[in-house]
Amino acid sequence: MLDFPEYLTTWIVYLLAGVGLMAVWWRLTRVIPWYALRQLLRVAVAAVILMPAPVVYGGADWAPALFVLLLDATLVKEADTLRALPFLLYGLILGLLALCADGLFRYWRNKKAAF
């Protein structure tokens, strides 16, 4: 395993790459005319890219949940291969809740501006 400075450096590099991917994805989804679909796709990709999951049960080391899911599905023979899936779903649910809160805020702001 990695010691703490290597672990921290790895996460910083991954987060910078994730932000770069999100910027590219944001640019690619600009052409979608439906606001709700555009935001939903952005939230889904952000949840998949940015959500961490533990590498081993009870361990202190975390990795991106997508990579944990893919490595467990391809390399682990007799184990719970879908153990990272709940973390991905938690990220997606949190993103959808934030999207709903944004929609309610926009509705409230537009309603208030109409009076």
- Averaged pLDDT, 102-110: 91
Q: 36 pLDDT exceeds 70?
A: yes
Contacts with 85 (C-beta within 8 Å, 6 or more apart), sequence order: 69
Encode pLDDT of 79-93 as tens digits: 677 889 999 999 999
- Averaged pLDDT, 94-100: 95
Q: 41 pLDDT exceeds 90?
A: yes
Q: 46 pLDDT exceeds 80?
A: yes
Domain spans in the chain, listed from the N-terminal domain onward: 4-53+85-114
Rounded CA-CA distance 19/25 in Å is 10
**Closest by CA position to 52, among listed 21, 81, 83, 87:** 87
Vertex 32, ends 28 and 37: CA angle to 5°? Answer: 105
pLDDT-above-70 percentage for the chain: 97
Contact status, residue 51 vs residue 90, Cβ threshold 8 Å: yes
Contact status, residue 44 vs residue 31, Cβ threshold 8 Å: no
Lowest-confidence segment of 10-19, 79-88, 91-100 by average pLDDT: 79-88
Q: 42 pLDDT exceeds 80?
A: yes
